[in-house]
Structure 1
Amino acid sequence: MLTRCLAALVRQTLAPQRYEIVVCDDGPDETTRALVERVADAHRARALQVRYVPVTATQGPAGARNAGWRAARGETIAFTDDDTIPDARWLEAGLSAMADGACAASGAIVVPLPERPTDYEFDASGLARAEFATANAFVRKDALVAVDGFDERFTSAWREDSDLQFSLLAAGGRIVSASEARVVHPVRPARWGVSLSQQRKSAFEALLYRKHPALYRERIASTPPLGYYASTAAAAAGLAGALGQRPAVAGIGALLWLGLTLRFFLLRMRGRSRAWRHIAEMAVTSALIPFLSIYWRIRGAIRYRTWFL
């Protein structure tokens, strides 16, 4: 993926002397370093600088991006990920969008999907609808300095870009759209049941809410996931009834949980792949996701000491 991304970056319409490529690796290895050095050697004669920055102080995209923009020499930083394919005019279009003095710009992200995507593929396509995502974003370096860059407590690829967006807005910055600055973001393969491990990201919702409660309610979520809470409560009531030898309570709780789970399953299957493996995955994960999501939300609320439900 990195080879593909770099091949697109070295073909930018912007003159080679006007930009540099900084590859930040928060899982440093010699294979990646060697790849970047080969690309650097191939384009040195064009005066295009390509640099490898190993990141060992922290893990996650927030820490890696901080290392990148601090190492960069340009006044404007363009962020993307190694699994994207930037358009040839990406940099040129992004700079053009910021020409009127904006502190940041949000580019367009294209996520190709099959006619009937899996639930995971459709969820990944949410990047195309995001207000501000660092898979395609431009930020002035002085604006990054002013807000101290990314919050490295966001150790997964989740909400670290929203946190930067909200920090820039809170500091009085203006963020514009750069619709002509496009990157294609193919959905990378994922293992069966990946949506279960993704529920860990719910903890970072609490951190974002603690830092920017008004903007979080305005732009992300005004109400908690009531369906998840109802499903969890129904299962708890059913279990309590069974343990307390109250069959009526146990039966009502079990039926409510089953009905809510079936509804969740059907919602996730609407317009999605009908492959039997995908149907089985949706059935299993639909039963487990509400419990895991609520667990990580509560854990995040406790960890970051905020009333977040």
Structure 2
Amino acid sequence: MKPLVSIVIPTYRRPHLLRRCLQALMRQDFDHQQVEVLVVDDGADTHTQRLVEEIAQQSDLPLTYLAQPERRGPAAARNRGWRAASGTIIAFTDDDCIPADSWIGSAVQDFSRGAQVVTGQVRVPLSDTPTEAEKIVAFLETAEFVTANCFCLRSVLEQVGGLDERFDIAWREDSDLQFRFLESGIPIIRNPDAVIVHPCRKAPWWASLKDERKNAYDALLYREHPRLFQDRIPKYRRLVFLYYVFVLSFLLGVGLLLAGDPLAASVAFGVWALSLVVLIGRRLRKTQWSLRQIGQTAITSVLTPFLSVYWRLYGAVKYRTLYW
């Protein structure tokens, strides 16, 4: 029997999270005979393969393991999955997500009424005093469209050519897909009853520094969809302006000091120091405070503007677009 819904899950060396996701799918209250699950292992890992094979033996849901030997990112993994799928409806979620028991059934109702693309609701459980990293994850709750929780007719994925594999990390590949749907005149239905839970994972305190490279992919998204980017992507202009002031005042201070003008250099360094205080204050606002937290925030606040400006300029040059 050909399945109605094919669920595609990209994963990368997180078998403990993948197990939790697959167990949630096994509890779906939708007819299991109309569903198949395809796990795409990005950078094939033997532990992940063994886990999928183990669960496949226990589940009445057809479960397929697809190895992607070279790590190419979630966009490429999703493309691999939906192109190998048999269902009319392609559902995407992530290995660190927990679909509610009614997730599939809630979305399928929309397709029975003519929907072509459905995006569900993401819920992010937070503590009373969330960390900065947790607050960033919580933005998923208000995102317009995320590939962690969406359903598409296979035909519309074929129409737009799937996901753009130049987005080779988990950033902006979902917005690019959303924008290509909109530019092709394909409506996107929002269904708040199609719920997945996205728990916050523990991350090292310096993880935000690594995330600054995402700014280069903003440049790619802007080049491909300038109008929709301007209309729908948050700009954070004040913060970006502060980053540029921070970097330029520091570099100016160093240059003036080397040029033998300590008085002017002290003014430039004063602007830099004031910018640093503002940045630290912004990042500590409504978060857990401790001496360790303050110290770590100070270190990341010193480094973040330099990394952010570098990756923004890198993206602008690489993708040949006037993006700052």
* TM-score band, normalised by shorter chain: over 0.9
| 2:180 aligned residue | 167
Distance across 2 between alignment mates of 1:59 and 1:19: 26
Which residue identity lines up with residue 149 of structure 1 in the other structure? G
Aligned to 2:156, what secondary structure does the other structure show? Answer: helix
> How far apart are the structure 1 equivalents of 2:102 and 2:290?
38
Please state how far the C-alpha of 1:223 moved relative to its aligned partner: 6.8
Structure-1 residue corresponding to 2:152:
139
CA distance in 1, matches of 2:311, 2:211: 10
Q: Cα offset for 1:26? A: 0.3
Q: Deviations over 1:120-178 (max 9, x none)?
A: 11111111111111111111111111111111111110000000000110111100111
Q: In the alignment, is the contact (CA less than 8 A) between 1:24 and 1:54 conserved in 2?
A: yes
| Cα displacement string for residues 267-308 of structure 1 (whole angstroms, at most 9, x for unaligned residues) | 111110113322221111111111100100100111111111
Q: What is the DSSP-based 3-state SS (H/G/I as helix, E as strand, rest coil) of the residue aligned with 1:280?
A: helix
1:103 is matched with: 116
The residue aligned with 1:226 is: 241
**1:230: how far off?**
1.5
Shift of 1:58: 4.9
Residues 223 and 119 (structure 1), Cα distance of their counterparts in 2 relative to 1, 3 Å cut: closer
Q: Which amino acid aligns with 1:35?
A: L
Counterpart residue type for residue 177 of structure 1: R
Which secondary structure state, in structure 2, belongs to the residue aligned with residue 218 of structure 1?
helix
Return the TM-score normalized by structure 1. Answer: 0.96
Q: CA deviation at 1:105?
A: 1.4
Letter in 2 for 1:235: F
Matches within 5 A, 1:244-283: 244-283=259-298
Measured against aligned partners, the alpha-carbon deviations of 1:22-69 in whole angstroms (never above 9, x if no partner) come to 1111021121111111111112xx4x2111111135511101111111
For the Cα contact (< 8 Å) 1:264–1:286, is it kept in 2? yes
Q: Distance in 2 between matches of 1:89 and 1:279?
A: 42
Structure 1 stretch 89-98 or stretch 3-12: which is displaced more?
89-98
Query: Does structure 2 conserve the Cα–Cα contact (< 8 Å) formed by 1:102 and 1:173?
Result: no
- Residue pair 1:75, 1:140 contacting (<8 A) in 2 also: yes
Q: More deviation in 222-231 or 25-34?
A: 222-231
Inter-partner Cα distance in structure 2 for 1:4 and 1:58: 22
Whether the 8 Å contact between 1:9 and 1:88 is mirrored in structure 2 is yes
Aligned to 2:208: 195
Question: Scaled by the length of structure 2, what TM-score is found?
Answer: 0.91
1:25 and 2:41 aligned: yes
SS in 2 for 1:98: helix
1:263 to 1:146, Cα distance in 2 relative to 1, 3 A: same
**RMSD across aligned C-alpha pairs, in angstroms?**
1.3
Query: Does residue 128 of the first structure (1) align with residue 144 of the second (2)?
Result: no
Query: How far 1:265 moved relative to its partner?
Result: 1.0
Of residues 8-17 and 235-244 in structure 1, the stretch that sits farther from structure 2 once superposed is 235-244
Go from structure 1 to structure 2 and tell me whether the alpha carbon gap of 1:253 and 1:71 turns closer, same or farther (over 3 Å shift).
same
Partner of 2:321: helix, strand, or coil? Answer: coil
Q: Which moved more, 1:229-238 or 1:218-227?
A: 218-227
**Which stretch has the larger CA shift, 137-146 or 97-106?**
97-106
Q: How many residues align?
A: 306
2:302 to 278, 287, 301: 287
After superposing the two structures, state which structure 1 stretch, 92-101 or 77-86, moved more: 92-101
The letter of the residue matching 2:320 is: R
| Aligned mates of 1:122, 1:92 — CA distance in 2 | 30
Partner of residue 87, structure 1: 100
% identity of equivalent residues: 42
Q: Secondary structure of 1:137's partner?
A: strand
